[in-house]
Amino acid sequence: MNFFEHQARARRDSTRLVVLFALAVVGIVLAVNLLVALVAGVQPRLLAVASIATVLVIGLGSMYRMASLRAGGDAVALQQGGVPLSMDASDPNSRRLLNIVEEVAIASGVPVPRVYVLEREAGINAFAAGYSSSDAVIAVTRGALDRLNRDELQGVVAHEFSHVLNGDMRLNIRLMGVMFGILMLGVAGRKVLSLGRFGTRRGSIGVPVLVGALVAMLIGYVGLFFGRLIKAGVSRSRERLADASAVQFTRQTSGLAGALKKIGGLDEGARLVDAGQAEEVSHMLFGDGVGYAGRTLGRWFATHPDLVERIQALEPGFTPGELERLQRHWAVAPPVGMDEDLQRGLAAPTHGPLPPAGSERSLTPPMVVAQVAHPGADDYRRADAIAAGIPEPLRRMATQRESVVPLVLGLLMEPGTEVAGRQRIEIAARMGEPLAGAADRVHRRHLVALHPVLRLPLAALAFPVLRLRPRPELERLMDTVQAMSLADGRVSLFEYCLGHLLTVQVRESLDPSRYARFGRARPHAVQREIATLLAVVAHAGHADLAGGRHAYLAGLHRMLPEAHVPYVPPAAGVTALDGVWEPLDRLDPLAKQQLVEAVTLAVLHDGRVSLAEAELLRTICAVLHCPLPPTLENV
């Protein structure tokens, strides 16, 4: 199953979630009406009032919870007690985690997510949260940091990245809102009963109110039953897919299997301390943080496959007896991840050379489609080389609040003195002369000689720190980026790619819930936008009119075989794309697959793809939320 099929399945699961939610609401309403009828008899008007009140409570509860999660992944991590990890942290455990997250993000072709640590949690667990890759966070428990070695931590992070890439995060956040509404009656009843223990002594809460609260709490168990069934049904198959994706990514099973063995072999397991908090996010966790499996009817409610089954899928010869042996061993000498790394003598990884600056790649459309949001071990090794190739001074700038903005603006500055001077003026006019001077110094001292392949990954590395800047400053930054791109009267492919990627990622991180959607549009509904996109791609890669026309028609025939839209080279150049993004992002996932194939055909019409064309292709995929790894080799 490729990325686009995953997305189509996620959209179907969203529809399924709505249906299951409606059925759960019906079940709760029927339970309320039954109790009302038993107490007051069958009175149609009273039953109607009870039904409407119940639906309102559930609906308002869901709306409230969804509103509280509008900030996306950061809101979820903070509500679970997460502590943001500074991108320039020097603690060995933290640095190891950050390096793994950076490498996996670069290999996946997405912005580096924010990283949180659940400091109070001794169990081994993790989750990914957010509406899209632009506001994604990865949260890891302190137990995972302390107990897992590098390979095991890499397997857990790769597992969570598969949720980021496959659209699971959006579904998970919506599921949190839906569950809160379903459980609202029970929560309200529990709160009233808690207050009633003290209120009845003073006569402030009457017995009828307490009886009503008890009834509400009992009805809440109906919601809890339905809620757990819904979460289990949505979550289990996705966890199996995430395990498989992590193995595909790292091309080794020992890391992920080792993490699962430690969950089963240590007393803390994957449990979270706060059971109430864990219940709400149980469907998002790497391991069973609540402990359904050990309960009666646990398999009905389990959000994760059985632990031994997950290990056996990775190591078919594994037996429950081996897990018991590990439990006895670790009860005496619990594992320490960093010590295991030292004992294994982990040497610095070997990095393959970066491709020459003017190199070109040989590709086919199916190869590109297969690589979208589905990185493999080759991508990981290449990402490792890219991360290692970023000079240390630039890496430090990307992780510090004071230097991240000058760094990003410096990436956009033209080597030519005259153009760079005009760009400095644009920066000074909008963000001040000191910042303009800092951007100019970064550009001249560090970025002029930077390998072109490293430019977009460096921007991705800077994004977690950049998005922490105040909203007014980010809005001025986006305005400055646009002005810098137009300083010489033309917008190059790289300027457009970096500027537009930055704008999209900042915009989505400022208002993540607004841009979270599964598209449903069909190609014929956005014919004009498809033609514009293909014309820009064909024109950018072919200097002659005939070559551009042939490339355009090859892509158009793949996407719209019945259409007759003539090739017109865009007078506005690459900026003609500004009006196509939103309509194209509303395409059905499988239609997006066709579009990526069509664009790739247009790029490859001359048989090769340059670095500039590869960056344009990657930008197109990123804006359409189909992330492509940073190099197109070894696909």
DSSP 279-311: HHHGGGBSS-SS-GGGSTTHHHH-SS--HHHHH
| HSE-up of residue 476 (Cα within 13 Å, Cβ side) | 14
Q: Active-site residue 160, yes or no?
A: yes
Q: Which residues, 6+ apart, have CB-to-CB distance to 548 below 8 Å?
A: 535, 538, 539, 541, 542, 567, 569
CA distance 284 to 292: 14
Q: Under 8 Å CB-to-CB from 426, ≥6 apart: which residues?
A: 480, 483, 484, 487
> What is the b/e burial string over 246-265, where b = at least 16 CB atoms within 10 angstroms of the residue's CB?
bbebbeebbbbbbbbbbbbb
Q: What type of residue is 564? A: H
CA angle at 216 for the pair 210 and 221, rounded to the nearest 5°: 135
Per-residue H/E/C for 199-222: HCCCCCCCHHHHHHHHHHHHHHHH
| Spatial distance between the Cα atoms of 82 and 77, rounded to a whole number of angstroms | 5
Cβ contact 303:282 at 8 Å: yes
Please list the helix, strand and coil fractions of the chain in percent, rounded to the nearest 5, in that order: 70, 5, 30
- Whole-number Å distance between alpha carbons of 339 and 342: 5
Cβ atoms of residues 55 and 31 within 8 Å: no
**How far is 633 from 497, CA to CA, in rounded Å?**
20
DSSP helix/strand/coil, 11: helix
With contact defined as beta carbons under 8 Å apart, do 127 and 281 qualify?
Answer: yes
Neighbouring residues of 231: CB distance < 8 A, sequence distance ≥ 6? 175, 179, 282, 283, 301, 303
Over the Cα atoms of the chain, what is R_g? 27
Return the residue matching tokens 């921007």: 459
Packed helices 207-250 and 150-165: angle between N→C axes, nearest 10 degrees:
110
Residue 426 gets the label, from left (phi > 0), alpha (psi -120 to 50) or beta, of alpha
CA 524/CA 560 separation, integer angstroms: 7
β-strand partners of 137: 114, 129
Q: Which residues, other chains included, contact 42 with Cβ-Cβ below 8 Å and sequence gap of 6+?
A: none
- Write down the catalytic residue from 160, 268, 414, 597: 160
How many Å apart are CA 311 and CA 575, to the nearest integer? Answer: 50
Which token pair is 463? 């994004």
What the block records as the tokens of 405 is 């903005």
**φ and ψ at 141, to 5 degrees?**
-75, 155
What distance in Å separates the CA atoms of residue 586 and residue 269, rounded to the nearest whole number? 42
Which amino acids are annotated catalytic? 160
